[in-house]
Amino acid sequence: MAVANDPDPKLAEYAHPERLVTTEWLADRLKAGTSDDGDLVVVESDEDVLLYETGHIPGAVKVDWHTELNDPITRDYVDGRRFAEIMSERGIGRDTTIVVYGDKNNWWAAYALWVFQLFGHPDVRLLDGGRNKWIAEGRETTTEAPSPATADYPVVERDDSRIRAFKDDVLAHLGKPMVDVRSPQEYSGEKLHMPDYPQEGAVRGGHIPGAASVPWARAAAEDGSFKTRAELEAIYQQEQGLQPSDDVVAYCRIGERSSHTWFVLTYLLGFDRVRNYDGSWTEWGNAVRVPIVQGEERGSA
Amino acid sequence: MSGSTDPGTLPPQLAELVDDFAAVGPKDRLQLLLELSQELPDLPERFADAASTMEQVPECQTPLFIAVEVADGEAGEGGSDPAARPVHLYFSAPREAPTTRGFASIMHTGLDGQPAATVLDVPDDFYTDLGLAEAVSPLRLRGIAAMLARIKNQVRAAIT
């Protein structure tokens, strides 16, 4: 790997410390000017489409999930050709180390990182604590948009088989471990959408039979960074009984919050096989003849 | 203009904004929205405790509060016809939500000070002519429709 890992002791506890960097590590690296050599590109990916323009980490480029990674016509992600264009325009090559960060505890950053992984980008890391932590620490921001030299990203075919689950995969998975990362009210079916968020059109409330309720935010510390490995093991392993060897499916409403949990289980706790069901409740809650459970109990299929 | 709204039904400032957005490409539309977000006026002191005195718009992805005041007829503004009384709009949205602030600023620039009847006549889908769906995504645009609906509800309640 071209760019050394962040040796931070908290990160070293995680199963894959190479997938995370601290704000301090990134600030030091940017100060040293080594990001100019093209082997590291910082990517901001936010819920708010204008937040990057109000000020961002110096040198960071923007990738918007809604308008760029998503293909609204097919309700799918972009293909390999378009992905190569998006990366190349931002000066990102296949060997570039990418550090992703964003607002809302890195929800959309984790979602972008997950999409980058569908294309198998070798070295992509998340900034622990995201945009909020960077700003809260008073670190430098700029409104100056970088103009990176175009890179030559190869056209890579997207691989949906490893970390992505479709509705039929979930039907076949019923009875095996699943994590519903939405709020308790969405899980029980009391509410059809996130508190304070728009209704996105599910006709039924509830959860997929057998799914454990572990709201995504339980993995986050107060400053938005991830909890320590011991704290995360206490939640997902001791409390919920999941094992790193389990085949796990995570879902939420449209797949953004479950990308956060997918990241936690895969890279921080070292689970072998975790898939994100991006159709999530907007698909399952509307699908004809698929089973659901209402109330606080997990239930079974 | 590619839209379907009859420009005659929009108050002049709002029609002008729609024209400004329609005249440029998607990237410049975002820039325009950003500039508008920076022009949203601060809340008057009397709304300092926003959560208790203003109406929340949960359709926006970020906390947004609106307050609508229709000038008192007896104070002289607008005379005796309630539909002619001017509407005043107040918004509260955090700095880290520039898109929501931009939408609020479109409402403020386009509708503040207009007669109640003019505000009620704004077509509910006027925002489609801003051409923001491509630049912002349709999902994010829902907030602006909800904002107009809530403003109209409050205006209706104030004049009847």
**Domain extent listing, chain A:** 9-137, 167-285
CA distance A175 to A177: 7
Do the beta carbons of residue B132 and residue B37 sit within 8 Å?
Answer: no
Report the CATH number of the A167-285 domain: 3.40.250.10
Confidence class for position B144, pLDDT limits 50, 70, 90: confident
- Quick one: how many helices (H) and strands (E) in chain B? 7, 3
pTM listed for this prediction: 0.89
User: Predicted ipTM?
Assistant: 0.80
Write down the pLDDT at residue B2.
44
Torsion, Cα A167 A169 A173 A174, to 10 degrees, reads: 20
Residues in chain B with CB shorter than 8 Å from the CB of A196 are: 58, 63
- CA B20 to chain CA centroid, Å, is 16
CA distance A193 to A183: 9
Which of the four CATH numbers 3.90.1010.10, 3.20.20.20, 3.40.50.1360, 3.40.50.1580 does domain B23-72+82-159 have?
3.90.1010.10
Instruction: Tell me which residue has tokens 């704004």.
Output: B122
Confidence class for position B47, pLDDT limits 50, 70, 90: confident
Distance set, CA B70 to CA B67, B77, B85, B116, B148 (Å): 10, 10, 6, 7, 15
Write down the pLDDT at residue A37.
52
DSSP H helical segments within B11-137, as ranges? 12-23, 26-39, 50-53, 98-111, 116-121, 133-136
Asked if the C-beta of B105 comes within 8 angstroms of chain A's C-beta atoms, the answer is: no
| 3-state SS class at B40 | coil
CA distance A238 to A245: 14
CA distance A80 to A86: 10
Q: Say if A9-137 and A167-285 have the same CATH topology.
A: yes
β-pair partners for A124 = A98
CATH topology of domain A9-137: Oxidized Rhodanese; domain 1 (3.40.250)
- Could you give the residue numbers annotated as active site of A? 252
Write down the pLDDT at residue A67.
86
Residue of A nearest to B34 (CA): A50
| B58 to chain A, closest Cα gap in Å | 5
Per residue in A170-187, pLDDT (tens digit) is: 999 999 999 999 989 899
Residue B142 pLDDT greater than 90, yes or no: no
Spans of chain A below 50 pLDDT: 1, 196
Residues in chain B with CB shorter than 8 Å from the CB of A53 are: 30-31, 34, 98
The ranges assigned to domains in chain B are: 23-72+82-159
Write down the pLDDT at residue B63.
75
Q: Residue A199 is which amino acid?
A: Q
| A18 to chain B, closest Cα gap in Å | 30
- Contact residues for A299 (Cβ-Cβ < 8 A; gap 6+): A207, A209, A210, A293
Distance set, CA B48 to CA B6, B64, B65, B88, B154 (Å): 38, 14, 11, 17, 20
Residue B1 pLDDT greater than 60, yes or no: no
Name the token pair of A143. 């409104």
For the CA atoms of chain A, what is the radius of gyration? 19
By Cβ distance, the residue of B61, B63, B134 closest to A47 is B61
